[in-house]
Amino acid sequence: MRVARKPFNPKRFFRLVLLYLLAAGGAVVMIFPFLWMVSNAFKEHVFVIEYPPQLIPTHPSIGNFMRAWTSNNFQLYFTNSAVVALTSTFFTVLFSAMMAYAFARFKFPGREILFFAILLVLMVPDMITIIPKFVLIKTLGLRNSLWGLILVYIAGSTSLNTFLLRGFFEQLPHELEEAMLMDGAGYFTIFLRMILPLSAPALATVTIFSFLGHWDEFTWALTIIDDPLKRTLPIAIYSFQGQHGTEWGLVFAAMIIALIPVLIIFIALQRYFVSGITAGAVKG
C-alpha cells in the first residue's frame, strides 16, 4: 500500500529553515566564548594577543595550566572552595528537603504565611542584604572563616530550593506514606526511606544549582574574607589579573580548572536533571 505524501509547503519549509538557522546561530553565540577561552588557555601569552587571532592554537601548550595550579596559592583556594561548596550544598539540600516535606505534608497554623514569607525572601537582591549579613557574621565571630561563608550560602539557597522541592513532594502519592504509617514507621523514617529516594530528580536539580552557586560565588567571599589562607577559588582567579597587565592565557586556564568540579557534578547527576528541572513548577 502506497503512503500518500504530503504536498510540499514552501511556507512551512522556509519556517523550518529559519528556525534551524536561528537555533544554530544561538548555539554558536553561546558556545564560541567557551571555545575561545579553551583556545587561549592552550596558548602562550605572546600568542594570546596575536593578530589576526586564531581559534586553533598553532603551538598548543599546557604551561598555563601548570602555572595556574602551582602559583598564587591556587591549590589552597581550590581546597577551600571544595570544602565550602560541598558542605554548603549538603546542608542546603538537607534543610531544604526537610522544610519542603513539612510544608507539603503537614498542616499547621500559619503554614501558608510562612511559605509566602520564604517566597518574599527570593525577591530581595543579595546586594541589599550584604551589610546586614556582614554585621551578623562579624558579631558571631565568623569573619575570616569558612563557616562565615557556609552559613550565609546555606541561608541564601534554602528558600529557592524549598520552593522547588515542595512542588515535587506534593506530587508524591500519599498512599505509600499511609501504608508506611500503618506498618509503624515514623515520619522521619518515611522521609529518609521513601521521600528522598523517590525525589532523586528534584534533589539532583537543586544539588547542581546549589553547588554551582556556592562554587562560583565571588562578592560575599571577597567581602568577608581578608585572610589569604581562607580565600576561595574565584578570588584566586581574580588575583591572576595584574594591575598593569593580565596574562589572559593563565586566567583562562584557571577558569577551566575551576570548571572541572562543576562538570563532574553535572555529569554524575545529569540523568536526573532533565526530569527534575521543572519538577517544582508543576503541581499534580
Please give the pLDDT value at position 62.
86
Please give the pLDDT value at position 281.
45
Q: Give the count of beta carbons closer than 10 Å to the beta carbon of residue 79.
A: 13
Please give the pLDDT value at position 148.
92
Q: Give the count of beta carbons closer than 10 Å to the beta carbon of residue 55.
A: 10
* pLDDT 10s digits, 23-61: 888 888 888 888 888 888 888 776 777 777 777 887 788
Q: Are the C-beta atoms of residues 161 and 203 closer than 8 Å to each other? A: no
Please give the pLDDT value at position 84.
95
Confidence of residue 245 (pLDDT cuts 50, 70, 90): low
Please give the pLDDT value at position 214.
92
Rounded-to-integer distance, Cα 185 and Cα 187, Å: 7
Confidence of residue 244 (pLDDT cuts 50, 70, 90): very low
All structural domains of the chain, each given as residue ranges with its CATH number in brackets, are 10-61 (no CATH), 66-281 (1.10.3720.10)
Q: For residue 80, give Cα distances in angstroms to 88, 157, 228.
A: 12, 19, 11
